[in-house]
Amino acid sequence: MPIPGEHLKSGWGVVRLRPWHLAGVFGSSLEAETFAAKLGPSYLVKYGEHEFGTTDFSFDGGKA
């Protein structure tokens, strides 16, 4: 199932670290923070690189 911003190569990712879930990638931190707030406190916003067509997302301090 597609995620918001799946076509973006880099941006603000909304992630849950355990268990891993990339919920979306956004062009602005405000959009990402708003989306993360809807998903709950286990979701974080990190700026990083996204591999198109996958749930791979790399950011400072982590890669999943």
Is 63 a member of any domain?
A: no
pLDDT attached to residue 56: 94
Is 31 a member of any domain?
A: yes
pLDDT (tens digit per residue) in 17-45: 999 999 999 999 999 999 999 999 999 99
Is 58 a member of any domain?
A: no
In whole angstroms, what is the distance from residue 61 CA to residue 7 CA? 23
Is 62 a member of any domain?
A: no
pLDDT attached to residue 61: 73
Please tell me the pTM assigned to this model.
Answer: 0.89
Is 5 a member of any domain?
A: yes
CB 3 within 8 A of CB 15: no
Closest CA to 21 of 7, 47, 48, 3: 3
Element (H or E) spanning 7, and its range? Answer: none
pLDDT attached to residue 10: 96
Closest CA to 43 of 10, 1, 57, 51: 57
Residue 5 confidence (pLDDT) above 70: yes
Is 60 a member of any domain?
A: no
Instruction: Look up the domain containing 46 and give its range.
Output: 1-51
Please give the tally of structural domains in the chain: 1
Residue 47 confidence (pLDDT) above 80: yes
